[in-house]
Chains A and B, each alone.
Chain A
Amino acid sequence: MSIPKETLLHAYRTMKTIREFEERVNAEIMNGQIPGFTHLYTGQEANAVGVCTHLDESDTIISTHRGHGHCIAKGAEVSGMMKELFGSSEGLCKGKGGSMHVADIDKGILGANGIVAGGPPISVGSALAAKIRKNGKVAVSFSGDGSVNQGTCFEAMNMAVVLQAPAVFVIENNFYSEHTSINYAVGCDDLKARTEAFGFPVFVADGADFFAVHEAAGEAIAHARAGNGPAGVFAEQGRYHGHFVGDPQAYRTEGELEDLRENHCPLKNFRARMAETGELNEDELDAIDAEVMAKIEQSVTDAKAAARPTAEQVTEDVYIQYNATA
């Protein structure tokens, strides 16, 4: 399948943006600039971008606690996200949500989510709305290998089939649900078969390979968009950081992280593919790198200078309208 040059440029730029955003967030956490609990997506960039290049603004995604990559891939503004992580009132969520709750409803981003498998049922609702409105939209839920063992995930998958809703379940297997291996936490040997047993097709991809994810997601999304009910994507790719920033990662084997960074890097793989096909040249990619670095730097500068929230904002936005008597 040939991918237009504009899409290739966009895909590389977005993956690089996610990579540099996450690495900078990690550094700013170490500097004490970003509070709270933060979970980094570094290494898994091709999953988000491979999926979201098939979506337009009115398709929806819902994300996870490890949500920065999904949000960037779906078009969330980097500067607003960085401000949010810094806790500024100018952040995308006015400093109310932080890393685990980045959202931009206007861009079809129904939010990062702090509850494992909190997203899939909500995504079924978005898919159901698309079905009722007959508008050809799809609803994608990203969730991790840990999510597949939650009842909410099972319920969402089954109901999407029952309702024939255009829901796409993207399961990102990074091999560890928090500190526990998928080898332990998923009881069956064949998770793809278990998922397909709900009654929808699942397309598997190497999450280190943008082109593989792009192809698998393309099939799943086309299936759902065409009115054939839900579909699934399994993307396998390890995360480069711990479950959260500060995780000592005792579950890793020696050399595992080095191997991941060295031999399973979506950005390196993308560049190698371009060198092979000649679709994009090195100068074009280097220019994107420079542009992204400048953008991330600017986002941090902006975040540090951005307004801080004030006490009276605590009770704003709990409701649209609420006539309290007190």
Chain B
Amino acid sequence: MPEKTMRDAINEALHQAMEQDDSVFVIGEDVAGCSGSGGDVGSVGGVFGVTGGIYHRWPNRCIDTPISESAIVGAAAGAALVGMRPVAEIMFADFIGVCMDQIVNQMAKFRYMFGGKSRCPAVIRFSAGGGFSAAGQHSQAMYQVMTSFPGLKVVVPSNAYDAKGLLLSAIQDDDPVLFFEPKILYQETAEVPDDMYTIPFGEANFVREGDDVTVVAFGQMVPKTAAVIDTLGEEGISCDLIDPRTTSPLDESAILESVEATGRLVIVDEAPPRCGLTADIAGLAADKAFSSLKAPIKQVSAPHSPTPFSPELEAAYLPDAEKITAAIKATLA
């Protein structure tokens, strides 16, 4: 099977969805690029290159916009309400701050407020997460915040294979989907089939299987945690590593069944701890698997702080192998 980067896998999914369904279109800042200039229109393909080549094949369905995030999300939501399948790009997840109303008060709630009489099959893609020394306004995960809003489906792929299958599911889904791409993983490769395939929402992936501890991780923390678990395996500690892949819907039963088997739970996410996914899943286990627990649940997250700029500070901020290892061992102490 061919190896592809996450960037190329997502790009391929977009091309295939556009080929298959002409109600799919791409919209956002520089998704074509160079519009109105004397240069090569379409040659940018998004600042991370994820929408590359789409404009050249479908110039009418690859739409550059002004820097106007509210209008981008609103336009996607409106087009979806009348039957299109837009895939909008918001350059950085942090810019949700600019377009929050259109996401949470508008598209998330149409169907419910309209008594189930509407569909809003829009996908909003974001680059997300830290690791680039990009500081407080270009490093946030944000998916943990958006997971709290009923009406939105939230996807966080951790590898190229999942990214392609999950994006194709997102585009086919009739509800609004927020698709968070951990930007530190764009260059990471995995085996990705050339053909179209989908990965259902709400179905976790068991990245590793083991008996001693259940570890749940999200996004860029999945490969980091997998490496830790492989090292611990050499010490005779074996762990389940669960990547939920979608945080809404969440595959609760996969997590609970694993916790019931191991009796120990560690949750790893790059976002700050308060009202986040580590607390969410700790709460789930405390509520529904309490009698199985043999040790306190451990949460590994960033501290309650914005993302710092300096590389040393960011390295101390993001969960690392040392902290993940310590948390897993703490449940076994």
Binding site for B on A (CB under 8 A): 35-37, 87-89, 93, 95-98, 100-101, 113-118, 146-147, 149-152, 176-187, 249-253, 256, 308-311, 313-315, 318, 324
Taking CB atoms, residues of chain B closer than 8 Å to A186 are 66
Taking CB atoms, residues of chain B closer than 8 Å to A177 are 29, 66-67
B67:A146 contact, CB within 8 angstroms: yes
Instruction: Look across to chain A and name the residue whose beta carbon is closest to the beta carbon of B311.
Output: A35
A101:B66 contact, CB within 8 angstroms: no
**Total B residues in contact with A, Cβ cutoff 8 Å:** 44
Known contacts A179-B33, A181-B36, A152 near B98 by CB under 8 Å: yes
The answer for the CA separation of A309 and B143 in the assembled complex, in Å, is 29
Known contacts A250-B34, A318-B304, A114 near B136 by CB under 8 Å: yes
The answer for the CA separation of A96 and B30 in the assembled complex, in Å, is 29
Taking CB atoms, residues of chain A closer than 8 Å to B303 are 314-315
B138:A250 contact, CB within 8 angstroms: no
The answer for the CA separation of A280 and B42 in the assembled complex, in Å, is 48
Taking CB atoms, residues of chain B closer than 8 Å to A116 are 67
Taking CB atoms, residues of chain B closer than 8 Å to A87 are 133, 309-313
Question: Pick the contact of A315 from B44, B136, B305 — CB < 8 Å?
Answer: B305
A98:B310 contact, CB within 8 angstroms: yes
Taking CB atoms, residues of chain A closer than 8 Å to B34 are 179-181, 250-251
B308:A178 contact, CB within 8 angstroms: no
Number of residue pairs across A and B with beta carbons under 8 Å? 165
Most buried by A among B65, B305, B310: B310
Known contacts A87-B309, A87-B310, A97 near B67 by CB under 8 Å: no
Minimum CB–CB distance from B304 to chain A (whole Å) comes to 7
Q: Which 7 A-B pairs have the closest CB atoms?
A: A184-B36, A181-B36, A98-B309, A87-B310, A114-B137, A95-B310, A253-B38
Minimum CB–CB distance from B241 to chain A (whole Å) comes to 26
Taking CB atoms, residues of chain B closer than 8 Å to A37 are 132, 134, 138
A100:B66 contact, CB within 8 angstroms: no
B68:A150 contact, CB within 8 angstroms: yes
Instruction: Look across to chain A and name the residue whose beta carbon is closest to the beta carbon of B316.
Output: A311
The answer for the CA separation of A253 and B39 in the assembled complex, in Å, is 5
Known contacts A87-B311, A88-B310, A251-B34, A35 near B305 by CB under 8 Å: no
The answer for the CA separation of A87 and B135 in the assembled complex, in Å, is 11
Binding site for A on B (CB under 8 A): 29-30, 33-40, 43-44, 47, 64-71, 94-95, 97-98, 132-138, 303-306, 308-313, 316-317
Question: Pick the contact of A250 from B33, B68, B308 — CB < 8 Å?
Answer: B33
Instruction: Look across to chain A and name the residue whose beta carbon is closest to the beta carbon of B29.
Output: A178
Known contacts A180-B34, A250-B44, A96 near B309 by CB under 8 Å: yes
Taking CB atoms, residues of chain A closer than 8 Å to B36 are 180-185
A98:B133 contact, CB within 8 angstroms: yes
B138:A114 contact, CB within 8 angstroms: yes
The answer for the CA separation of A186 and B66 in the assembled complex, in Å, is 7
Known contacts A250-B40, A252-B39, A184 near B309 by CB under 8 Å: no
Most buried by A among B33, B68, B70: B68
Instruction: Look across to chain A and name the residue whose beta carbon is closest to the beta carbon of B91.
Output: A178
The answer for the CA separation of A126 and B305 in the assembled complex, in Å, is 26
Taking CB atoms, residues of chain A closer than 8 Å to B47 are 178-179
Taking CB atoms, residues of chain B closer than 8 Å to A253 are 37-39
Known: A114-B137, A251-B38. 4 other contacts (CB 8 A): A98-B310, A150-B98, A184-B36, A250-B33
